[in-house]
Amino acid sequence: MSKRIAVYPGSFDPMHNGHLDIIERCRPLFDEVVVAVLRNEGKKPLFSVEERIEAIREMVGPDVRVESFSGLLVDFMDQVGARAVVRGLRAVSDFEYEFQMALMNRRLNPRVETVFMMPREDYIYLSSRLVKEVFSLGGNLTGLVPEPVLARLRRRLRPQDPVVPA
């Protein structure tokens, strides 16, 4: 039987505990999980793709692959032999965007299925944009952001620095 490989794609600028929770939840369901960081210079990220990949690798351990991709997600999935896309669904507000992407990806490649997973309740309001904003305004992120990301935020942003839009 072929390996069940899932891709967990996103911007992850930066990764927070809600993302890590989804990774932990999908690991037992698949033989391999590939975290795929989108290369999208147009988004003006706070962290480079390389910085994000380095931080994610520190957090997820060696049995989760972490790669970057550009172009279509379905093409990247073909390259790594994955059929499942994993996406976290936090609230009804996420639904429309996720529904559109899932159906477009299925249209582009009918073998691709999107698996939605709900994060722990504590994280349903968490987003990378809010992490950057709260940090830059001196707010407390304890329990919301893993230490490797906090360390990088401290190096990159001082409280009161303006936030780079997500």
Catalytic residues: 19, 43, 90, 128
Which tokens hold the place of 140? 């407390």
Of 159 and 165, the one with the shorter C-beta distance to ligand PNS is 165
Scan residues 61-120 and list those touching ligand PNS (CB under 6 A): 72-73, 101, 104-105
User: Scanning the structure block, which residue is given the tokens 């988004």?
Assistant: 43
Q: How many CA atoms lie within 13 A of 69 on its CB side?
A: 19
Q: Is 45 in the site for ligand PNS (CB under 6 A)?
A: no
Cα dihedral value 10, 82, 105, 116, nearest 10: -60
Least spacing, CB of residue 88 vs ligand PNS, in Å: 9
# chain residues binding ligand PNS, by CB under 6 A: 9
148 near ligand PNS, judged by CB under 6 A: no
Cα dist. 58→41, 49, 52 in Å?
A: 23, 14, 10
User: How far apart are alpha carbons 12 and 23 in whole angstroms?
Assistant: 12
Identify the residue whose tokens are 């360390």: 151
Q: How far is the CB of 138 from ligand PNS (least distance, A)?
A: 26
Binding test (CB under 6 A) with ligand PNS, winner from 6, 7, 8, 11: 11
Residues contributing to the site for ligand PNS (CB under 6 A): 9-11, 38, 72-73, 101, 104-105
